[in-house]
Structure 1
Amino acid sequence: MSGQALKLNVPHLYLGEGPHWQEDLQALLYVDVFNKAICRYFYNTGRQQVLHIDDGGKAKTVTLAVPVEGWKDIYLVTVGNAITIVEWKETDPNHHKVNPTVIEVVLQDSHFNDGKCDSHGRLWAGTMGPQDEAGELLGKYMGGLYRFDSNLNLTKCIDKVSVSNGMTWSPDKSKFYYIDSEAFSVDVFDYDDLTGIISNRRVALDYKKANLGEDIPDGMTCDRDGNLWVANFKGGKVINIDPITGQILRKVPLPSKNVTSVCWGGYDYSTLFVTSGKMRLTDEEVEAMPQAGATFAVTELGTKGLPPHAFKPDHTLLKEKMQI
């Protein structure tokens, strides 16, 4: 099954990222990176909400948002190189601004990029080096991968990363899959679900050996069968990988060249939501590709995903950080 891609009725973005299905709202949560905004699309009604993050102009990016478990309307958001907290109610206006509460900052790195939570509610979030105005990386090996635990401690788990990107876990939680886009590979680690320790890194898919041309691996998710789904920036597609054999099982083409990330959602998690962007495209390319920067819902893929996890903090500690 190649799947059926439907463009959602939401604005096309310069760089859409970080899709996360919010089951309690039946909504797709994602970010408008350089407009420093979180977007929420209510799938059943078509309602859209946009929350602009106003940090006084200190940061240039908002790269991910995840709900905080047990705390309605509270979200963990990465703003530049800061981990922050914002409140966002379903009853809020469709477009408004909020000032975030900073709870942790990684001073030595340029800014956070992709991230998500594991089954214990620990946030895994990676960083990358600075970019020029066109979004091109100015230096390699300047980022890392971090684990933000419930006690609000931040631990660097991987060093010398260029563009920390997609991550996901196997359904049995024994494997952690990870992408540094500049390495042009999907890597796999052994994963200790109890402690959150990763080890024994190796390559699951080498993009150059797989003849994927100029495609850049970006965001990633896993289905219930243990197969990976990877967004291909510059490649105009999502690829489905068997990480055990390294075989590409199928390719899902999309009418947007710069595909950025993926997540499963919908009432039964059989819909693959896909974000994309217009970044690094010429005016001529955007004109020739009118769906560049769109967000898609892909159905009829013959498999399903698993529900995502929220951040699970020590609420007492978090209240102290937020001074409430």
Structure 2
Amino acid sequence: MRDALAEKASELGFCAVGVARADAAPETAERLRQWLAAGAHGDMIWMEERAAQRGSPAGLWPDVKSVIALGMSYAPAGDPLALADSPERGRISVYAQGADYHDVVKKALKSLARWIVEQSGADVKVFVDTAPVMEKPLAEAAGIGWQGKHTNLVSRTDGSWLFLGAIYTTLEIAPDAPHAMRCGSCSACMAACPTDAFPAPFQLDARRCISYLTIEHKGPIPEEFREAIGNRIYGCDDCLAVCPWNRFADAARANQAFIPRAELAAPALADLLALDDAGFRRVFAGSPIKRIGRNRMVRNAAIAAGNSGRPDLIPMLQKLTGDEDAVVSEAASWALARLSDSVVPP
């Protein structure tokens, strides 16, 4: 069954598969409790609301016996930091430049789950990101990688570029050995963080993380982080991109659904600042970005515009200072003041 499972998973587009017992990561619940108690989850109230279910697979589904952890590659063909020197462009995290991974991975998981039911008659449940499941410690327990010092999963074959999914099942499958931590003395990911979001190795303060600030955080972005955000408008790849294990990642192994869409690979800030709700939905249809809505995207674009040094964006920011959304209006006013101060009079 284990060999057949790996073969079927590969057929469906997964490049990594491992199995763990449902109780294989007992320390997860306590680590989660400490992280929540420190308030490091910021506005992500949903993390604490379902903490009991998130802490262990049995907390979510008491009948689960095995967890099948799966990884699907989205390894980029180019340099994920290439737009750092293009301030007129917005930087979108690699994972969000193609099709929505929720849809792609869940479709493949459901196909694999149906196959498991056909083969064994066991009960199954599939999860991709939105359920109270701790995919990363489970994936480490299942042997497909380890959580690096940036807290993300790292694979010896696919680097930092894996979408994770999980199948819980009542089927008892021989587990794989957990993966050893192979970061060694390297701390490149921590050093690369523009906002010092890692207070210590293997610890993340989401409140300082650019991915959190540009995606999860709904209110005004704290001014102390705005300059460091640069031209990042959705997520941040810095800690992932510098990981030395990425030298083994092969873009040829990436699922073709995640090939960057032209309009998302290097969007012009001017185009983003001009978005209304309808335009936002049109541009980001089929993308995971659609869930943040127009206002957060334009807020992010305004912050990037303020960091751009581009006076040609001033008229657009002036218009946005009267935006119906107070957060957008405030971000535009900040950016306008910042750009105006940088313009040298003739």
TM-score, normalised with respect to structure 1: 0.25
Work out which of the two has the higher radius of gyration on C-alpha atoms and give 1 or 2.
Answer: 2
Q: More strand per residue: 1 or 2?
A: 1
Q: More helix per residue: 1 or 2?
A: 2
- Name the structure, 1 or 2, with higher relative contact order (CA <8 Å, separation 6+): 2
